[in-house]
Amino acid sequence: MTEADEVFMKKTDKSHVQYSEIEDLYDRFKNGEVILGVGEEVQKLINDLSDDKLDYSNNTVIDMIIKKVLDKCEDEKLKSILENSKIADIENAETKGRAYPKYFDGSYYIEIDRNYMKRILLLSDYLATVNMLCEQDLIFEKNKVNIEGLGKIPILKSFYSLFIARFLDICLDRFLKNEEFTNDYNEILMKLMAFEKEYGTKISDMFVDRSNNIYEAAIAMFVGHEIGHHYYRHTDEKIKEAEIKRLEDTYRVDSIKAHQFFEYNADAYGTGFAVEYMRSQYTEKTNTVLIHQMVGIFIPMMIMMFDADDLFDDEKKHPALIKRFLRIKKSLESRTDEETIEEVMYYVYYLFDVLGIRKKVSQLGV
Ligand SMILES: [Zn+2]
């Protein structure tokens, strides 16, 4: 029995592992050790998990994404896949993500590596701080506070900038160390609390909100890629073999190249899935948030590029990362306007710089 089987066949057991983790987090939140928790929501989560109310995944974010997409889904094929999807977020998965061969019970199994999800979260946090620093004028404008004797005054811009700049460094450090609660991070959260108390601002809310938006987009892309493998029936052996034969005959490519086509298709599907999710979810938000969510779509790929020594080598069934990156960009271009994509790429290439990816791709001149 694979771990994905286990998670879903003994759903309660595994849910309760996560349940105890969250309960622990909730206790720490109550004791003031964790600041960025939202009491009521965490409590609700605990109840949902203990009542086995989660339908498609043992991961609440993935579960929410599936539900939201299903809400507005007009594609019957996708609908039936999503309704029967079972997505397991597991410890120490062999690969970052995997769509299992179609099961006899009609379920579509997908396995996701929990550690990779964490890295996506940490990079989303970092991108959220970059976003907040870039939009400081907006925040500055919106955060005039009432101080007795002085009336309504804006908070010190330089103070805010320095604060966020420090926050930004700390978030990058968390990603590089792959550690959620570093000492520096705990410390700055305390300072943030003091700052908020004094000035009545909502920086932590904004941070959580931005990071969630980015994280959700990244996860929708990541999970959407695996859903894409099911959608194109790469997980149905007979159909897959027939498709490989067709590609071999039509394009005179070998079986490895044919598999690489599948990855491109899955990437394009994931991109579309993420864009649709964002559109259904955040229509009332500003365009700037949308841009950062679009940057979020690149996050799973960026982590792979960060890890890789060589971006130009095809790796068996997976095409070179640089090729996949360019295809994702192309696929996003077809779904938005030129101005938006240009803005998105500013941030993507900024992250390339920070993560040392630009050096690896410099020969391409991107
Ligand atoms: Zn794939």
State residue 140's pLDDT score.
Answer: 45
Task: List b or e across 226-250, with b for residues whose CB sees 16 or more CB atoms inside 10 angstroms.
Answer: bbbbbbbbbbeeeebeebbeebeee
Residue 264, pLDDT > 60, answer: yes
Span from the CA of 265 to the centroid of ligand 1 (angstroms): 9
The reply to whether 37 falls in a domain is no
- CA–CA separation, 140 and 154 (whole Å): 7
Neighbours of ion ligand 1 (CB under 5 A): 263, 266
- Rounded to 5 degrees, φ, ψ at 121 are -65, -45
- CA–CA separation, 35 and 258 (whole Å): 49
Supply 61's token pair: 């974010």
Terminal CA-CA length for the chain: 45
- CA–CA separation, 295 and 217 (whole Å): 9
Span from the CA of 4 to the centroid of ligand 1 (angstroms): 17
Span from the CA of 81 to the centroid of ligand 1 (angstroms): 17
Select the more confidently predicted residue: 359 or 144: 359
The reply to whether 134 falls in a domain is no
The reply to whether 26 falls in a domain is no
Span from the CA of 230 to the centroid of ligand 1 (angstroms): 10
Span from the CA of 96 to the centroid of ligand 1 (angstroms): 10
Q: How sure is the predictor about 26, in pLDDT bands with cuts at 50, 70 and 90?
A: low
Phi-psi region of 91 (alpha: psi -120 to 50; beta: other; left: phi over 0): beta
Span from the CA of 292 to the centroid of ligand 1 (angstroms): 24
Q: What mean pLDDT is reported for the chain? A: 80
Span from the CA of 233 to the centroid of ligand 1 (angstroms): 12
Q: How sure is the predictor about 47, in pLDDT bands with cuts at 50, 70 and 90?
A: low
Supply 115's token pair: 């550690």
Span from the CA of 263 to the centroid of ligand 1 (angstroms): 5
Span from the CA of 169 to the centroid of ligand 1 (angstroms): 32
Given strand 108-113, what is the order of strands in its sheet? 85-90, 108-113, 97-99
Span from the CA of 351 to the centroid of ligand 1 (angstroms): 23
The reply to whether 125 falls in a domain is no
Span from the CA of 229 to the centroid of ligand 1 (angstroms): 7
Residue 178, pLDDT > 80, answer: yes
- CA–CA separation, 230 and 233 (whole Å): 5
The reply to whether 58 falls in a domain is yes
Span from the CA of 226 to the centroid of ligand 1 (angstroms): 6
Span from the CA of 225 to the centroid of ligand 1 (angstroms): 6
Rg (C-alpha) for the chain, rounded Å, is 22
Span from the CA of 256 to the centroid of ligand 1 (angstroms): 13
Select the more confidently predicted residue: 102 or 321: 321
Per-residue pLDDT reduced to its tens digit, 308-360:
988 888 877 788 999 999 999 999 999 988 998 998 999 999 999 999 998 88
State residue 146's pLDDT score.
Answer: 63
Span from the CA of 75 to the centroid of ligand 1 (angstroms): 21
Span from the CA of 197 to the centroid of ligand 1 (angstroms): 47
The reply to whether 230 falls in a domain is yes
Bridge partners of residue 90, in order along the sequence: 113
* Count of domains observed in the chain: 1
The reply to whether 345 falls in a domain is yes
Span from the CA of 222 to the centroid of ligand 1 (angstroms): 9
Domain hosting residue 289, numbered range: 3-16+54-115+211-364
Supply 54's token pair: 């989660």
Number of alpha carbons in the 13 Å side-chain half-sphere of residue 152: 5
In this prediction, what percent of the chain has a pLDDT beyond 90?
37
pTM, two decimals, is: 0.81
Task: Count CB atoms within 10 A of the CB of residue 200.
Answer: 12
Span from the CA of 98 to the centroid of ligand 1 (angstroms): 7
